[in-house]
Amino acid sequence: MSARTETSEREAIVVYAALLWQRGLVAGNSGNISVRLDDGTLLVTPTGVSLRALAPNDIVRTDARGIALAGEGRPTSEVPLHVAAYAVRPEIRCVVHTHPTYCVAWSKTGALFPRDTVGAIESLGSIAWTRYARSGTTELAQICSHAFARPVDTIVMERHGLSSVGHDLETAFVRTDLAEQTAQIEYAAFTLGVAKCLGMSDSRVPLPYDELHAAATDDASRAALADFHGEYGSASPNWVTLHSHADRVRSYAAVAGPFERWWLDPRVQAFVSELNATGL
């Protein structure tokens, strides 16, 4: 690839980095972008630098393994994710990794947000949810590469963010932007649906305590259930304490699944949200 083309790619990365910031798809110094050049080397955003204020010379050139070439700076710590995506998708030219608020919020539910709007159906394309792994690790890169290889073009990463790939930066940016809009629409629809169905009342959905207690396999998980049950059933449950107990219950594999299905019931979430709104 000629120096002129590399220059234009550096400039394009700066432009799309600023767009990601303006759209609220990244914050602080989060998020990263890469472009693969024709010779197999990569142009990667640097570590520790906000995408809102990049200059073309800030972009780091690496070899195909993500190792910075002589005279370059330090690439993003997420470079293993980018390298893994290129390894399984030889046709793609770029990877965009962001931390969009609503996508991250949905990722914590363990499932994808609904995708039934016209925009999502017509333009979002293939998307998948991937389980949590620590940022910048080989484990995370492998998990994401398995999804990209299916092939999937966008992945919602549990408790982390969103990664999209494409033939060009415009395609990856649009997928990222649309995924966040879809997640926000579905959150709003969920909230409106709950508000329509329920007013402020004390019609608590019973916790399937006996079922969960029978599924528990040790004293610690039973104690967590008992603490949650006691707080949930009290005259004035505390929102913060309730969430703390819920997190404890979800940490035990034997009861996590059935508890989560009950916890995510819109009626339960409506009651919990009311506790927060009323300061209880």
Regarding pTM above 0.95, the answer is no
d(CA 191, CA 273): 10
pLDDT at position 1, please?
A: 40
Q: Which CATH number fits domain 3-182: 3.40.1350.10, 3.30.9.60, 3.50.50.60, 3.40.225.10?
A: 3.40.225.10
pLDDT in tens, the chain (280 residues): 444 589 999 999 999 999 999 999 999 999 999 999 999 999 999 999 999 999 999 999 999 999 999 888 899 999 999 999 999 999 999 999 999 999 999 999 888 888 888 888 889 989 999 999 999 999 999 999 999 999 999 999 999 999 999 999 999 999 999 999 999 998 888 877 655 554 445 568 899 999 999 999 999 999 999 999 999 998 888 888 888 899 899 899 999 989 988 988 888 887 887 776 544 4
Q: Residues with catalytic annotation?
A: 78
Buried/exposed code over 193-210 (b: 16+ C-beta within 10 A; e: otherwise): ebeeebeeeeeeeebeee
pLDDT at position 235, please?
A: 84
Beta strands at 161-166 and 154-157: parallel, antiparallel or unpaired? antiparallel
Strand ranges of the sheet holding 60-62, from the earlier edge strand across to the other edge: 60-62, 42-44, 32-36, 94-98, 161-166, 154-157, 127-130
pLDDT at position 6, please?
A: 94
